[in-house]
Amino acid sequence: GAKVVVNDLGGARDGTGASTSPAGEVVAEIKKLGGQAVANHDSVTTLQGAENIVKTAMDNFNKVDILVNNAGILRDRMVFNMSEEDWDLVLKVHLFGHFYTIRAVSPFFRQQRYGRIINTSSIAGLYATTYGQANYGAAKEGIVGLTRKVARDMGRYGVTCNCIRPTAGTRLTLSEEMMKARTEDIARLEEMKPEDIAPMVVWLASDDAANVNGRAFYVQTGRIGLYSEPVMEKQLVKAGGWTIDELFNFMPITMTWELVNPDPPQPK
């Protein structure tokens, strides 16, 4: 088993507040099972905070081999109601937080020519199934792009970087309001345990996954999927370029005729 630094600021699901309890409870659980762990409460929203997390690992265990990025908050608002703070903080925790921890740990990985990075994305930015998550969706899709580019930067040094798109019931995804509502979707989400995500993370962190780099996986209880890389579905090609009139004529009959607006205009 790995020696673990458990980082958690311990804030609320909207990023406010802080508490040492969440990280401390996980550390106690690991120790009870015979493992070694220490808690860290720095925020990933700054490079200094990320460097302190890595320093905690080096000070306590003299080495760092694996980074699992999983910090997250939610501030759901329809885009016309979203404040600059709602946008900035979600991007800071998710996308910037992933970069900062990777930036902090990558010199160690490069020097030892070994490392595993597992990032956490989401299906929220991939499918138009939720409302009010422009900030969250943008951050999570940004993490997929970051994963691909870090994989290329660090692969030559024996480092892999992959991401998961998990579905599970956690203190982030199951708010008090949602629990009180007790809808069918909430009951189904409760059945998807976060501990069922862990085995895939462990596998990606192993030597058996050394050939897997820059890829995204869907993970939920009893289900794992590998996402294909983005591909171009269709092309219109013409020497010399297209005129505006030509595009108005050709686009509807050659390229977009099968497309359906996922959210068409609604009656007032």
SS3 of residue 245 by DSSP? helix
Q: Confirm if 147 and 162 have CB atoms less than 8 A apart.
A: yes
Looking at the domain assignment, is residue 237 inside a domain?
no
Per-residue pLDDT of 118-166, as tens digits, reads 999 999 888 767 889 999 999 999 999 999 999 999 999 999 999 999 9
Higher-scoring residue by pLDDT: 45, 170: 45
Which two tokens mark 234? 């269709």
**CATH code for the domain in which residue 220 is found:** 3.40.50.720
- Per DSSP, the three-state class of 197 is coil
Residue 24 covered by a domain: yes
Cα–Cα distance measured from residue 197 to residue 232, given in angstroms and rounded to the nearest whole number: 31
Which pLDDT value is given to residue 168? 84
Which residues touch 175 (CB under 8 Å, ≥6 apart)? 13
On whether residue 259 sits in a domain, the answer given is no
136 counts as catalytic: yes
- Domain region containing 209: 4-226
Mean pLDDT of the 55-60 span: 98
Q: Is residue 17 part of a domain?
A: yes
User: Does residue 242 lie in a domain region?
Assistant: no
Q: How confident is the model at residue 55 (pLDDT cuts 50, 70, 90)?
A: very high
What's the angle, vertex CA 135, arms to CA 101 and CA 173, rounded to 5?
80
Number of domains composing the chain: 1
| Cβ neighbours of residue 172 closer than 8 Å, sequence gap 6 or more | 13, 72, 73, 74
Average pLDDT value over all residues in the chain: 93
CA distance 255 to 179: 44
Whether the pLDDT of residue 6 is over 60: the answer is yes
Per-residue pLDDT of 159-199, as tens digits, reads: 999 999 998 866 666 555 554 554 566 666 666 788 899 99
Spot the catalytic one: 136, 157, 218, 227.
136
pTM of the model: 0.91
Residue 233 maps to a domain: no
Query: Tokens in use for 203?
Result: 């596998």
Q: Which pLDDT band, with edges at 50, 70 and 90, does 59 fall under?
A: very high
24 sits in which H/E element: helix 21-32
Q: What is the pLDDT of residue 194?
A: 87
Q: Which amino acid is at 185?
A: D
Asked, for residue 178, whether it belongs to a domain, the answer is: yes
**pLDDT value of residue 1:** 77
Asked if residue 28 is part of any domain, the answer here is yes
